[in-house]
Every structure is written in C-alpha cells, then in structure tokens.
A and B are shown apart, each in its own frame.
Chain A
Amino acid sequence: MSAVLSVPAPSGGFVARALRHPSFAIGAVLTLLLLAAAALSLVWSPYPPAELDIPNKLQAASAAHWFGTDSLGRDIASQLLVGARASILVGVFAVLIGFSIGTALGLLASARGGWVEEAVMRLSDFTFAFPALLSAILLGAIYGPGLVTGIVAIGVFNIPVFARVTRGAANAIWSREYVLAARAAGKNRWHITWDHVVPNIASALIVQATNQFATAIIAEAALSYLGLGTQPPMPSWGRMLNEAQTQMFQAPMLAVYPGMAIVLAVLGLNLMGDGLRDLLDPKLARKR
C-alpha cells in the first residue's frame, strides 16, 4: 500500500508530462531534428548533394564544407541532409506495410481464435525465418536492388512483429469484463474489435511503430551499405559508409559522420518509444 501511495499521481496534461519525461524529451528533440533535416533538404542544402568537385576532393571540415568533401568532391553535409530522406522514406513505408498487414492479421487472429489464430501465428513464425536481409537478397537477385526492394524486404519482416504484438495485446483486452458485457449485449466480434479492442491497444502499437521505425533505419543503412538498398544518385547514409570505407586511410572522418547520423536518428526514436511506453502505460512505468 505504502509503495503505491509513494508514487506520485501523474499531474498535468499529456504534453506537460511528456516534456518532463527525460527519455521522451531527448528522443523527441532528436527525432524532430531528423525530420527537420529531411524537410530542409527538400528546399535547401549547402550544395547539390550529387555535384562533383574533383579539385576539392577529400577536403577537411571548414566553413565552406561543414563536414568536408568525399573522394569525388561532393559535400558531406549536403549528402547527410538529403540522406535523411531515404531513411525516413524507408522507415515510414516499411512500418506502414508491417503495421497495416500485421495489425489486421493480429486482430483477426485474436477475434477468431482457434485454427485462424494458429494459422496466423505459424505464418508469423515462418516470416521470422526471413530476416530483411534475406528477403532483400531474394528480391535483389530478381528485380535488382533499389529503394523499393529495401522497403518491401523490411516491411515484410515487420508484418509478424506487428501481428504478434497486436494479437498479444488484443487477447488481453478480449478477456476483460467490459468486452464480456459487450458480447452479452449482442455486439458481434468485429464491432467489439473496432469499438473496444483497437482503442485499447493503440498505445502499444504506437510504441511498437516507433521502435520498428528505428529498426528500419538501421536495416535500410545496412542494405544500402551492401548495395541492395537506395541507389545512386539518391544519397543514403549506408552507401556513404560504403564509399567512405575505401578512403579510410586518407579521410577517416568520412566513415564517422554518416554513422553518427544513423545512431542519433535511431537513438532518438528508441528513446521516444521508451518514453511513450512510460507515458501511455503508467503502470509499467511504476514497475520499471
């Protein structure tokens, strides 16, 4: 009892509580920076990111080139800014694919139960055997590497993740008294799913979507590093690392900046996801 009483009740609105939550606040700032970088690159970048300037290749950081230039004289800062677009594009679409199909399958499994639930879960197990990299290899071998290959490969791997989370969270809701009451009142399972299950699992899905977004950014970078993801001339952080590796002895910092950008973006999303989980599920926050 005393332990419960010692926990202060959350005060203020969601925004006020969010701003006071260190993980969420730091994560939100980093995520906003990522979004701002991508948005800014649509209207402005210090130089055109694909512009070659061989006489000024491998320049160190300076006022003219904030992070220097690469082996072809391209401005690193401009490539980093525009590269944020590829990360966000792949992250958003890969999460959308996983979210839409996975959540639908998870809700279906939970609402129907029985063999449908068993089939959906076995399908999830099966999809887990195909990490994004393997799907990208398969698709890349046939259709060639590219942004779409990366999005589909990462998106497909997200499907079972969302299906499992949705089914687990939804099953917990189906056992609640108010759902029993709704069933007794004659509501069919699809109305109950829409009216009671979906609103109550939304927070878990938002947190999962944030985490999968972060995972997608790392996966996109890995695929682009291997040449299976974003293709030239569109800059991507993963491909910048690949190109930097050939210049490590002459310009080691080229291999540092894109990695830092990936880490900050992923760290931001992960911290925001952790913060959201605490804010949306205060019971969990007290346990931690």
Chain B
Amino acid sequence: MSVFLLKRFATFLATLAVASVLVFAVLDVLPGNVAQVILGDTATPESIAALEKKLGLDRSVLVRYTDWVGGLLRGQTAQSYSYDTPTATLIAERLQVKLPLALMAMMFTVLIGITLGIFAAARQNRAGDVGVMALSQLGIAVPSFWFAILLILLFAVKLQWVSAGGFPGWSPDDGGGLGPGLLALLLPAVALAAVQAAVLARWTRSSVLETLREDYVRTARAKGLSRRAVLWKHVLRNAMIPVLTILGLQFAFLISGTVVVENVFVLPGIGRLVFQAIANRDLVVVRDVVLLLVAMVVVVNFVVDVLYAAVDPRLKASDA
C-alpha cells in the first residue's frame, strides 16, 4: 500500500474516532441530565432516576463512551427509548430504503451529469453547450426537495401515474416486491439526481475542456486522430480524475439529501426515523443515526481517495 493510502487510512480512522467523541459529547454530555432532556420538564425525580439507571447514566462518562463504541464495534447497540428495540435493528430496517435510494440517485447523477457534461464540452460555445449550461445553472438553484414536490404534483396529482408517496416493501409477502419497490424509489431518486447532475455536468464540461487544452491532445490531433477519437481515447480518462472527487462529495451530499427527500415521499428511511426520534427525544437513536451518517460520508471520502490513487498513478508513488 502506498504512503498516500496509508496516510488517508490513518486520517479515515482518526476522523471516525473524533466524530464518535463529538457526537457522544453533544448528545450525552452537553445536555447535562440526559434523562431530564428525554422526559421533559414535567418528569418526576423518581422517573428521572429510573431512566438514568436504564440508560446507564449512573456510570462515568468514559465508561459510557467505551461501552457505546465497543457495543457498536460488536454490533450490540443500545435500546431505543421510544421503540424499546436495539437501534441497530431499527437502522438496518431503514437502510433497506435509504441505501438503494442513494445508489439509484447516484447512478442517475452519473448517467445524466457526465453525458451532458461531455455533450456540452464537445460543442463548446454552440447552442447545445449554452443550452446545457443554462439548464444546469437553473438545476443548481432548485432545491431537491422542491423538485421532489413538483414531481409529485406532475406524476401523482396531475397524471395520477404513481402514488404521492409511501413504500410497499421489498417482499411480495408484504404486498411489495422488487418491481413495486424500485418504482416507489424512482421519483425520489430522480429528484435527488436532477440537482446533483446539474452540478456534475458543469464540472465534467470544465474538466474535459481543460484536458482538451493539454499538449498531448494537440499531439494526438496532429498525428491525424479525429476529434471524436481523441475525446474518447485520451481526454475522457484524464478528465474523469477531478470528476471523481466531485462524485465523492456528491455521494456524501446524497447521503444527507436522501433524509430530506425521504420525508417528501413519506419513505420509511433513516430520515423519518431520526425526525421521529427528535420528536420523541429519543437521543439514543439520534446519536447512533448521526454517527452512522457521518461514518457513511467518511467511508465514501476514503473510497474516493483509494479510487483516486487507482486512476492517477502519480499519487501512488507520491507522499502527498
């Protein structure tokens, strides 16, 4: 493994560790008496004492933190206060919606964004380029949750092709299945992808144009290769390196973006779980969900670093 990747792996582990300390501090230490926060101002001293015991708040901060992290590493999480179920079980159920949604949205983002970016770059300053750039400028200004509402207005209210929200489940026994499940995630994924694709199209265009100005591209053209052949054989591979970084950032944004769009489409994902947990003051669930989402962002960034090193051999050899 290169020094670059070793350094990135160390940063990855350190970020996760610091994030866990921060999340723990904010939700378990800063509020003062967590049991009081959960039960509210009207709670009796007896009920507060009982909840403190149930949550293990009578132990020291260090013991509570190491118990929490140790439990997470072993897959044994605390009981949710409002659901009386381990948070891992609750989160695992919700991830069955969130992860496919994020992946579908990312797939659409890549397909639409990179295609439009290359299309625009190949037609720089012509009508196609101007049109794509105007569309992407508009797309960047549209909040994904509002675009989601517009999609519901069009396809559920006006055309009545799909339902306005909800998720039938992945199992035919529950009245769902793979087809109905994917169909329920289609509009949410499009809503998330449309905005991200607008951003990606701009980056892809500028990266392709930047690469087209390189000397080796001029040499390839001078050798007699057609513009199209140069674009596909030489330009795209190199232009995609900076685009990869943007994709990593976009996936991180999608992870939190899905939380909002899940709410628009009333999907039983992580978003609804965490907002219900906030309403119920179920800090145990909030703590584990926030750490999970942060971990997902950090993991995606690490994977991008690894891919970056794979496609750009200069990084493998460097100490960057």
Chain A residues at the B interface, C-beta cutoff of 8 Å: 122, 125-126, 128-131, 133-134, 137-142, 145, 214, 218, 221-222, 225-228, 241, 244-245, 248-249, 252, 255-256, 258-259, 262-264, 266-267, 270-271
**Contact between chains at A259 and B146 (CB < 8 Å):** yes
Q: Mark B264-290, 1 if CB is under 8 A from A, else 0.
A: 100000000011011001010010011
**Contact between chains at B143 and A221 (CB < 8 Å):** yes
Whether A263 touches B260, Cβ cut-off 8 Å, given contacts A125-B15, A138-B27, A142-B31, is no
**Contact between chains at A259 and B30 (CB < 8 Å):** no
The one of A130, A133, A248 that contacts B152, using a Cβ cutoff of 8 Å: A248
Q: Residues of A contacting B274 with CB < 8 Å?
A: 137
* A-B pairs with beta carbons under 8 Å apart, 5 shown: A128-B252, A138-B27, A141-B27, A245-B264, A262-B141
Not counting A128-B252, A129-B252, A270-B140, a sample of 12 additional A-B residue pairs whose C-beta atoms are within 8 angstroms of each other reads: A128-B301, A129-B301, A130-B294, A141-B27, A141-B278, A142-B26, A142-B27, A142-B37, A228-B278, A241-B146, A255-B150, A259-B146
The one of B11, B15, B143 that contacts A222, using a Cβ cutoff of 8 Å: B143
Residue B142 lies at the interface, judged by CB distance under 8 Å to chain A:
yes
Whether A133 touches B259, Cβ cut-off 8 Å, given contacts A138-B290, A241-B149, A245-B264, is yes
Whether A226 touches B256, Cβ cut-off 8 Å, given contacts A129-B19, A214-B141, A248-B153, is no
Q: Residues of A contacting B26 with CB < 8 Å?
A: 138-139, 142
Name A's interface SS.
Answer: helix
A244 to B278, CA, bound (A): 23
Q: Residues of A contacting B138 with CB < 8 Å?
A: 263, 267
Q: Residues of B contacting A263 with CB < 8 Å?
A: 138, 141-143, 146
The one of A131, A222, A227, A248 that contacts B164, using a Cβ cutoff of 8 Å: A248
In the complex, which range does the number of interface residues on chain B fall in?
35 or more
Nearest A-chain residue to B18, judged by Cβ = A126
How far does the Cβ of A267 sit from chain B's closest Cβ, in whole Å? Answer: 4
A260 to B87, CA, bound (A): 39
**Contact between chains at B149 and A245 (CB < 8 Å):** yes
Residue B145 lies at the interface, judged by CB distance under 8 Å to chain A:
yes
- A-B Cβ contacts below 8 A, count: 120
How far does the Cβ of A283 sit from chain B's closest Cβ, in whole Å? Answer: 14
**Contact between chains at A138 and B15 (CB < 8 Å):** no
Residue B23 lies at the interface, judged by CB distance under 8 Å to chain A:
yes
Interchain residue pairs A-B with the least CB separation, the first 4: A259-B146, A267-B141, A266-B141, A131-B256
How far does the Cβ of B259 sit from chain A's closest Cβ, in whole Å? Answer: 6
**Contact between chains at A225 and B145 (CB < 8 Å):** yes
**Contact between chains at A241 and B157 (CB < 8 Å):** no
Residue B137 lies at the interface, judged by CB distance under 8 Å to chain A:
yes
**Contact between chains at B153 and A255 (CB < 8 Å):** yes
A140 to B153, CA, bound (A): 30
Q: Residues of B contacting A142 with CB < 8 Å?
A: 26-27, 30-31, 37, 283
Residue B182 lies at the interface, judged by CB distance under 8 Å to chain A:
no
A152 to B219, CA, bound (A): 52
**Contact between chains at A262 and B286 (CB < 8 Å):** no
Residue B76 lies at the interface, judged by CB distance under 8 Å to chain A:
no
**Contact between chains at B15 and A241 (CB < 8 Å):** no
Q: Residues of A contacting B197 with CB < 8 Å?
A: none
Q: Residues of B contacting A125 with CB < 8 Å?
A: 11, 15, 301
How far does the Cβ of B156 sit from chain A's closest Cβ, in whole Å? Answer: 8
**Contact between chains at A133 and B149 (CB < 8 Å):** no
How far does the Cβ of B82 sit from chain A's closest Cβ, in whole Å? Answer: 13
Residue B298 lies at the interface, judged by CB distance under 8 Å to chain A:
yes
Whether A222 touches B145, Cβ cut-off 8 Å, given contacts A129-B19, A227-B275, is yes
Q: Residues of A contacting B146 with CB < 8 Å?
A: 221, 241, 255, 258-259, 262-263
A140 to B275, CA, bound (A): 10
Whether A270 touches B141, Cβ cut-off 8 Å, given contacts A133-B256, A142-B26, is yes
